[in-house]
Amino acid sequence: MTTFPTARDVRTTPEGLLWEPSERRVRGIKGDITVVDSRHPVLVWEPDMPVPLYAFPRADVREDLLRPAKNPQTGTHTGSQVFYDLEADGELVENAAWTFPAADLAGHIAFAWFLRWDSGLDHWYEEDEEIFIHPRDPHKRVDAMPSSRHVQVEIDGMLVADTHRPVLLFETGLPTRYYIPCEDVRLDLLDATDFRTGCPYKGRAEYWSSRTGTNIVWSYPDPLPAVSAIKGLLAFYNEAVDITVDEHRLERPVTPFTERLK
């Protein structure tokens, strides 16, 4: 009989990996083929990665679709791994999966998602909800809260947004984001772009640039249900604009986005 660790187990391996089991059903699909379908996934945090990835018991992976990698990406992940190419739906995807050397994770196969590496799978689901970019971190909160604070946004000294009805989004590890109704934003000073991103907590975002050409404004036209309050509202990168809240000018934070916004 196969046994699994309980949801309360959190462990660190000698290689520096942090891992814990998840009780969510996770599926990965390539074309019309389900490559992974697991009710016992394991969340794994690598030392240099701020977000987790999943590793799955071998029994939950279509190993018949995996081949020893022809060009293994040595040094890509923590420890000495065995890499696999994936052959599914008429396509060969190199280095789609790998194993960790940690004894705790023996018998598991990991798949990357989309934050740093493209896993080659087309869709990932936690339960029946599609998830984008990376697995959700169970230690992270994202709360969208309507507010009556007075929020003003300036770009290069010009007032581009002024509202008393923002939605404040509090996300663990990031600055508070201020989502503002379109009617309270000078849209004539912004240009719509083709740039798009995804977030496992919020959904798919579209962007606008300032006249300097930098994508500093975004919106979620169809956000995930947990943050439905931000639907259609506009947010500005605190790192690139000046935001005043209740007459108090906020300092520009330094985050992983800062360099990209210069």
Extents of the domains making up the chain: 11-131, 142-261
Q: What is the mean pLDDT of the chain?
A: 89
**Which amino acid, residue 232?**
G
| pLDDT tops 80 at residue 106 | yes
Residue 34: pLDDT band (50, 70, 90) is very high
Provide DSSP, 210-258: -TTS-EEEEEBSS--GGGGGGBT-EEE-TTTSEEEETTEEPPPP--TTT
What fold does the segment set 142-261 form as a domain? Answer: 2.170.150
Homologous superfamily in CATH for domain 11-131:
Domain of unknown function (DUF427) (2.170.150.40)
The predicted structure's pLDDT at residue 1? 43
Counted residue by residue, the chain has a size of 262
What tens digit of pLDDT does each residue of 187-232 get? 999 999 999 988 999 999 999 998 777 899 999 999 999 999 999 9
Whether 11-131 shares its CATH topology with 142-261 is answered yes
Three-state secondary-structure class, residue 132: coil
